Homo-oligomer: A and B are copies of this chain.
Amino acid sequence: MSRVRVHNFSISLDGFATGAGQSLEQPFGHAEARLHEWFFQTRTFRSMHGEAGGGAGVDEAVASAWEPGIGAEIMGRNKFGPQRGPWADDEWQGWWGENPPFHTPVFVLTHHPRPSLPMAGGTTFHFLDATPAEALRQAREAAGELDVRIGGGPTTVREFLAADLIDHLHIVVVPIILGRGVRLWDDLEGLEKRFTVESVTTPRGVTHVTFSRP
């Protein structure tokens, strides 16, 4: 059975995976880039953006696991864009430009479905109003033998964790106190009992916490 995986999911020490006040200018709200600085310096992130070089240590080793073996992604609508409610039009194509870094089908969970959106490089956005289990069924069908990535944001990851649909969860704890935003851990008491948990701090000061099925 293929696995369902979360990778490179950054949270603050107080558990927020995004700040308050998401907008077109600030996809992570008042958190700005602070949750992801550890990621920006990796070779994986730089190559996603067509740049050479970057760190090649443990941060990179862990970060690079996000792509191999993935056949589809599921993301929440708030990861796809800053709009809320019905779509004013179909012009918004995500934050990632003409050639998004996914290169697979991407299922966007929204109460306001719209036509599928094929992009360059193999990414197609599909819009679904569905439960986590139903979305996963469709993503698995699209992924074939490959794994499915749950791409975020925090509300989506939390819903899939609550439904016990995730097999591998990679969290990056960044030692900042955001104070407000969207929390990852609410209503997940005892989550660790379903997983083998491993933690490691890297010289950049973040802690990679991995939950994997025993």
Contacts and interface: CB of A to CB of B under 8 A. Distances in A.
Contacts of A175: 192, 197, 199, 209
Interface residues of A, number: 28
A14 B171 CA distance: 12
A109 to B, nearest CB: 23
- Each complex incorporates copies of this chain amounting to 2
A179 B187 contact: yes
Given A15-B14, A199-B201, A200-B201, A207 B176 contact: no
A189 B209 contact: no
A13 B177 contact: no
A180 B176 contact: no
A188 interface: yes
A178 interface: yes
Contacts of A206: 199
Interface in A28-72: none
